[in-house]
Structure 1
Amino acid sequence: MTIKVSVVIPVYNPGEYVEDCIASLLRQSLPDDEYEAIFVDDGSTDSTPARLDALAAEYPHMHVIHQEPSGWSGKPRNVGIAAAQGEFVMFVDNDDWLGDEALERMYDYGVANEADIVIGKMAGKGRPVPRELFRVNRPRASVENAPLIDSLTPHKMFRKEFLDRHNLRFMEGRRRLEDHVFVAEAYLLAAGVAVLSDYLCYYHIKREDGSNAGFQRFDPVGYFKNLREALDVVERLTGPGPLRGRLYRRWLRNEIVGRLRGSRFLAMDEDFRRELFAEARAVAVERFGPGVTAGLPPQQQAVAVLLADDRLDAVEELARWEARVRPSGRIEQLRWEDGALRIAVAAEYLVNGKPLTFRTEDGQDRLTALSDLGVDVPVPLRSSKVDLLLRERATAAEFFQPAESAYERVPGADGTFHVALRADASVDPETAANGAPLGPGIWDVVIRIVWSGWAKETRVGSVHTEAAENGRRAALCGTPSRLVLPYWTDGPGNLSLDVDHATKKFDREVLRIAPEHARFTDGTIELTLPLTVRETETGWLRYQPADGGAAVDVEATLRPAPEGAVLAAGLPRPGAAKGTVRLEAGLPSAERGTPCWTALPLALDLTADGSASVNADASREAAAEMARQAAAQAQAEERRRRRTARKRPLWRRVAGRIRRDLRRALKK
């Protein structure tokens, strides 16, 4: 059978990190005889060569090529291309992994759209990935109609015939940005590029020890020499004009201006900052005209202007100011409406806890901080917006949610004003994953404030209104139904969504049910749960004898009511259960296919004739026990959160110790 995809993985001393990569390849939904994996071992000195040999011996579609160390990933990838038998070639790094259906979905999407390049949605675990590119599926993308240039890593699928026809290969040797040269040329030569955004295909992973190649310190002279090679590709394959300027702007924005801003720049030692500034300026003056700089957002444009004027001191001053700028947000409304969770957020940027200030001069708005530095850059406030994203905690998968943004000028002293932003977002759990349902798990709510050259994100929920608290309620969504619970996280109190009983948080919600809420009529019990349902649903009620006897499960109905969902269930038939029983509510779970049970803070006394009454003492005992369990769980989660927050990667801890030792030595 024809091989559809060849996966090429350059390998050098990955240690245990290669195991996740291997496991993801073995889990692919594409049949084993329709794809191959080619591991190119670039002279590894750890146990990896033996591990890969054993893998290849066990699985016929797993191959390994051993070679002498070449110093970087360019040559291993080229060796993999030469050995590839597939219709498409997919590049994967040895410390990353693929979604289980990535190869099948990307291949089918590429064939359906006659694409030379297929880009699958990416997620970053500790690493940045493009966002705007993956807002929607883009079956016919190009550098002119889509932000392809934002994604220059090679972790994509390329048609093998396309690579061979244009002799597209990676530059070899120990060098930076060889992937930029390769991918930029591929974009400009491709007849079609397809961007698949409704399935998470590729996971970029930052190692805990910080040893990924892209995180290592670089030589500015060599780095910017390699950057010029990427610019040469654009110059060779485009003519003068807006397209070339827009493509150039990507390198000015990311590789030059981005390295001279905020905490990132200030963290460098003084000599390195000076060398980086000088080499960056040489490229900027040599290759980027005023039209390229003018297209940058204001904050980035200000850095580029100061760079061109050779004002390192002003760039450092601006970096110190920018390092204090923080995004902030407040949830003002939270409610379910027509099956969607409506979230209203107020947001703004703060510096030292106070709003940024602006002035209007000659009919144009300017950021006060830039004016104080003598940088005359107008700020187009109308382009400001607030995005709301859902991020799956386990995988870092992100999806933009529909949102409408607005801004308001708030007058201040001395003729200045600050800007208050607002976003009204709608989260439909059945379409929130780029048209697909949210998968089961924990989804964190994140806002991203795009404004004046910043696109900073923050969690929201720790500050919220009483209206938001009153509107926060779980809901049954979808077909088959599953629980979606908005909740405040322990500790910070930020907003997250529990989809399909991923946590035990709903147990805390039912603590508000009191004994007097139970109603008995004609052999039936009715309880109001803190839950939203759009129409009558099926639920269950479990009667669990306090003496440990067999539980009795009764099918129930859940019907809409203003104060929640009314669960109505028959009492056990006479003799089926008697004495004191505790109650548990059973809610549907699409993932499990069986009810998911939640203990209720209620206990009943059942009589031999089948009647029932609330046992107040046993109910209080049940509620107290549930409250103790919830508090213990919250404390455990807070301890885990604090341990995670304190834990820094090994390389950062070692670097910190080295810096401290150097300071002590210099003082002596």
Structure 2
Amino acid sequence: MPVKVSVIVPVYNPGPYIEDCITSLLRQSLPPDEYEVIFVDDGSTDATPARLDALAAEHPHIHVIHQENSGWSGKPRNVGIAASRGEFVMFVDNDDRLGDEALERMYDYGVANKADVIVGKMAGKGRPVPVELFRRNHPHATVATAPLIDSLTPHKMVRRSFLDRTGLRFLEGRRRLEDHVFFTEAYLRADNVSVLSDYVCYYHIKRDDASNAGFQRFDPVGYFTNLREALDVVERYTEPGPLRDRLLRRWLRVEMVERMSGRRLLAMPDDYRRALFKEMHAVVVERFGPGVAPGLRPGQRIVAALIREDRYDDLVAYAEWEAGVRPSAVPAGAAWRDGVLRIDLGVEYTTADGPLTVPANAPRPPADGAPRDVAEAASWLAAAAEDGFETAAVDVIVRDRESGASFFQPVDVTRERVPAEAGGTRLRLRATAAVDPAAAAGGDPLDGGLWDLYVRVGLGGWTKECRLGPAPAQGLALPPAGIVAGRVVLPYWTQQYRNLSLDVDRAVKSLGLHRLTPADATVSAETLTVALPLYVPDSTTVAVRLAGASGRAVDRPALLTPVDGVHALLEAGLPLGELRGALWRTELRLSGGRAVKLPLLLRVGRGPGAVEVVRPAPPGMLRRLLRRARRLLGGVRRARTTATTRRA
């Protein structure tokens, strides 16, 4: 078979962190004879070379190239390209992993859309990844129609003939941002770029030891020298004007403004951030024309202006104020409706002094220029929030706690202006999110695991995320677990911070069934009926298992029927003739073999109609009864021993 995809993995001393990468490459849905993996060992000094050689000996589609250390990832990727035989090449880092269907989906999508570059949806585990780019699929994307420029890491699939036609290769040597240079040029020269957003293709993972190359502190002079090379590519392949300004704005925003903002700036040692500031000031003055900074958001424009005007101390003061600006998302209600969990929430931006308040007649921020001081900056941004309030946006995101996979949920938003007690106006947003477990993962059902809810708020000069929570001080009752799309979905408050999360298919012991009593169950006409605190949108087929003390088990089909939105009626036929003269534990058996114990015992006598539902004794009571029985048995034994001694 022709090789469809060549996966190129630069390797340098990954230690055990390469194992997840290897596992994901072996688990691909694409048949092994349709893809190859090329590990380029860049002079590793740990046990990795031997591990890779053994792997290649076992799997014919895996190849290993050993070379002397080159200093960075550029040369290993180029060596891999030269050795590749695939129609496409896919770049993967040795401490990341792929989704199981990533190669197959990206290849098919690229072929269907005649793409030169395919960008697969990314999930970040402890690492930032683009968000806006992956709101939807972009089968035919350009830098003018989609935020491609937000994704410049190398983890993409590229058509091999495109690389040969353009001669595009990675810059080599010990340097930074070689991927920026490569993919900026790729985007600008490709006939088509396709963005696949409905499946997580790539998991970008922060190592436990934080030794990923991207987390190491860099030399500011070298870094911004390399950054200028990416700017050179933009200028080489675009004409002066709005598009060029928008592309250059990406480096001003991401590599400079965001590094010099809020908590991120304040976390750096002063000498290091001063060195960064000096190099940034030089780039801003040299390379960014008058059309670049005005396209930033108001708060970002303030930071950019302070960098350009060389006002380091004012920048730090602004960062200290801005670090206290954050969104607050308070849950106001949650309920199941038509198989969908609908969550009401209230959203507002706050500062260190309380809710963000817009003063009357606040001055508007200019398109360019820095404020005199922090007070003026705060006034400018409050006014910007007021001006943009009608377009303020609220997104609700479900994020897998284990993998970082994130998916936007449908949201309805309303806006209200509320007079503040001390004067001025507060800007409040009300939203209702619809989380459908059958389609919440980009059209697919949620996988089993813990899913945290995040709220992304765009207002005025900011777009920031926060958790949905904490639970209101006065308390908010959450709906019961739901059995939806074959999954058990339990809304719950996290223990430490009281934020709202979803447990999918894990919480078999925390579904509230422990509160059942015999009064919730009846046995009539050989049918067991139990009212359960569970939500089901429609009648659902399950099973009931009856387990006897002898180890015998009886499984019976059962039906769950919705009652009132918070209860379901469980009905199961009982073969009483087979159950007579025994005590039976009861379990609810769900799809996928998940078992949920019910705190109810079925006592079946030997006579007709002798059936009773009882609750087992609490564990503490059982222990007390057992200790009492042991004491009584010990007393009997001592009495027998005494009687035997007397007779002797």
**TM-score for both structures, normalised by structure 1:** 0.87
Hey, what does 1:34 align to over in structure 2? Answer: 34
Matched, 1:444 2:452: yes
Give matches, 1:502-541, under 5 Å. Answer: 502-505=506-509, 507-541=510-544
Q: Deviations over 1:625-656 (max 9, x none)?
A: 9xxxxxxxxxxxxxxxxxxxxxxxxxxxxxxx
Distance in 2 (alpha carbons) for counterparts of 1:292 and 1:360: 31
Structure 1 residue runs without a partner (length 5+): 626-668
* Aligned CA distance change for structure 1 residues 287 and 376 (closer, same or farther; 3 Å): farther
Task: Say whether the 8 Å CA contact 1:332–1:467 is kept in structure 2.
Answer: no
Q: Is the partner of 1:348 in helix, strand or coil?
A: strand
Deviation, structure 1 residue 92: 0.5
Distance in 1 (alpha carbons) for counterparts of 2:344 and 2:491: 14
Q: Deviations over 1:601-638 (max 9, x none)?
A: 2233222235355555x44537989xxxxxxxxxxxxx
Deviation, structure 1 residue 426: 0.7
Matched, 1:621 2:625: no
Task: Say whether the 8 Å CA contact 2:298–2:365 is kept in structure 1.
Answer: no
Give matches, 1:348-427, under 5 Å. Answer: 348-352=348-352, 354-361=354-361, 364=364, 370-373=374-377, 376=380, 378-379=384-385, 380-413=388-421, 415-427=423-435
- One-letter amino acid of the counterpart of residue 557, structure 1: L
Deviation, structure 1 residue 30: 1.3
Distance in 2 (alpha carbons) for counterparts of 1:468 and 1:296: 39
Task: Say whether the 8 Å CA contact 1:333–1:467 is kept in structure 2.
Answer: no
Q: Is the partner of 1:574 in helix, strand or coil?
A: helix
Deviation, structure 1 residue 349: 2.8
Distance in 1 (alpha carbons) for counterparts of 2:360 and 2:177: 41
Hey, what does 2:63 align to over in structure 1? Answer: 63
- One-letter amino acid of the counterpart of residue 242, structure 1: P
Deviation, structure 1 residue 441: 2.4
Distance in 2 (alpha carbons) for counterparts of 1:10 and 1:220: 25
Hey, what does 1:476 align to over in structure 2? Answer: 483
* Aligned CA distance change for structure 1 residues 44 and 330 (closer, same or farther; 3 Å): same
Give matches, 1:643-662, under 5 Å. Answer: none
Q: Deviations over 1:102-132 (max 9, x none)?
A: 1111111100110000111111111011111
Q: Is the partner of 1:580 in helix, strand or coil?
A: strand
Task: Say whether the 8 Å CA contact 2:602–2:613 is kept in structure 1.
Answer: yes
Deviation, structure 1 residue 9: 0.9
Task: Say whether the 8 Å CA contact 2:362–2:380 is kept in structure 1.
Answer: no
Distance in 2 (alpha carbons) for counterparts of 1:446 and 1:97: 24
Distance in 1 (alpha carbons) for counterparts of 2:160 and 2:531: 61
Hey, what does 2:638 align to over in structure 1? Answer: none
Hey, what does 2:575 align to over in structure 1? Answer: 572
* Aligned CA distance change for structure 1 residues 597 and 54 (closer, same or farther; 3 Å): closer
* Aligned CA distance change for structure 1 residues 130 and 576 (closer, same or farther; 3 Å): same
Q: 1:493 aligns with which of 492, 498, 508?
A: 498
Distance in 2 (alpha carbons) for counterparts of 1:115 and 1:602: 60
Deviation, structure 1 residue 512: 2.8
Q: Deviations over 1:227-265 (max 9, x none)?
A: 111111111111122211111111111001011011221
Give matches, 1:160-171, under 5 Å. Answer: 160-171=160-171
Task: Say whether the 8 Å CA contact 1:262–1:323 is kept in structure 2.
Answer: yes
Deviation, structure 1 residue 475: 2.1
* Aligned CA distance change for structure 1 residues 158 and 610 (closer, same or farther; 3 Å): farther
Deviation, structure 1 residue 345: 1.4
Q: Is the partner of 2:575 in helix, strand or coil?
A: coil
Hey, what does 2:92 align to over in structure 1? Answer: 92
- One-letter amino acid of the counterpart of residue 418, structure 1: R
Deviation, structure 1 residue 549: 4.3
Hey, what does 2:132 align to over in structure 1? Answer: 132
Deviation, structure 1 residue 315: 0.7
- Deviates most, 85-94 or 33-42: 33-42
Distance in 1 (alpha carbons) for counterparts of 2:483 and 2:187: 44
- Deviates most, 567-576 or 38-47: 567-576
- One-letter amino acid of the counterpart of residue 415, structure 2: Y
Q: Percent identity?
A: 56
* Aligned CA distance change for structure 1 residues 363 and 225 (closer, same or farther; 3 Å): closer
Q: Deviations over 1:397-443 (max 9, x none)?
A: 11111112233222225543332222211111122111122222222
Distance in 2 (alpha carbons) for counterparts of 1:251 and 1:108: 32
Deviation, structure 1 residue 381: 2.8
Matched, 1:454 2:462: yes
- Deviates most, 145-154 or 277-286: 277-286
* Aligned CA distance change for structure 1 residues 416 and 39 (closer, same or farther; 3 Å): same
Q: Deviations over 1:454-474 (max 9, x none)?
A: 33322224314879515x122
Distance in 2 (alpha carbons) for counterparts of 1:613 and 1:334: 39
Give matches, 1:214-613, under 5 Å. Answer: 214-352=214-352, 354-361=354-361, 364=364, 370-373=374-377, 376=380, 378-379=384-385, 380-413=388-421, 415-464=423-472, 468-470=476-478, 472-478=479-485, 481-499=486-504, 501-505=505-509, 507-545=510-548, 547-562=549-564, 563-587=566-590, 589=591, 592=592, 594=593, 596-611=594-609
Task: Say whether the 8 Å CA contact 1:9–1:38 is kept in structure 2.
Answer: yes
* Aligned CA distance change for structure 1 residues 443 and 323 (closer, same or farther; 3 Å): same
Q: Deviations over 1:514-561 (max 9, x none)?
A: 22222333232211111222222212223333x444232222221121
Q: Is the partner of 1:260 in helix, strand or coil?
A: coil
Deviation, structure 1 residue 48: 1.4
Deviation, structure 1 residue 145: 1.0
* Aligned CA distance change for structure 1 residues 520 and 363 (closer, same or farther; 3 Å): farther
Hey, what does 2:635 align to over in structure 1? Answer: none
Task: Say whether the 8 Å CA contact 2:314–2:373 is kept in structure 1.
Answer: no
Hey, what does 1:663 align to over in structure 2? Answer: none
Q: Is the partner of 1:469 in helix, strand or coil?
A: coil
Distance in 2 (alpha carbons) for counterparts of 1:402 and 1:368: 41
Distance in 2 (alpha carbons) for counterparts of 1:490 and 1:171: 48
Length, aligned pairs only: 613
Q: Is the partner of 2:77 in helix, strand or coil?
A: helix
Distance in 1 (alpha carbons) for counterparts of 2:619 and 2:537: 30
**TM-score for both structures, normalised by structure 2:** 0.89
* Aligned CA distance change for structure 1 residues 610 and 195 (closer, same or farther; 3 Å): farther
Task: Say whether the 8 Å CA contact 1:306–1:312 is kept in structure 2.
Answer: yes
- One-letter amino acid of the counterpart of residue 585, structure 1: L
Distance in 2 (alpha carbons) for counterparts of 1:411 and 1:363: 19
Distance in 2 (alpha carbons) for counterparts of 1:373 and 1:542: 66
Structure 2 residue runs without a partner (length 5+): 623-648
Task: Say whether the 8 Å CA contact 2:471–2:493 is kept in structure 1.
Answer: no
- One-letter amino acid of the counterpart of residue 573, structure 1: L
Q: How well do the aligned residues superpose, as a CA RMSD in angstroms?
A: 2.4
- One-letter amino acid of the counterpart of residue 430, structure 1: A
Task: Say whether the 8 Å CA contact 1:11–1:40 is kept in structure 2.
Answer: yes
Q: Deviations over 1:262-297 (max 9, x none)?
A: 122112222222221111111112222332211111
Distance in 1 (alpha carbons) for counterparts of 2:580 and 2:287: 83
Hey, what does 2:48 align to over in structure 1? Answer: 48
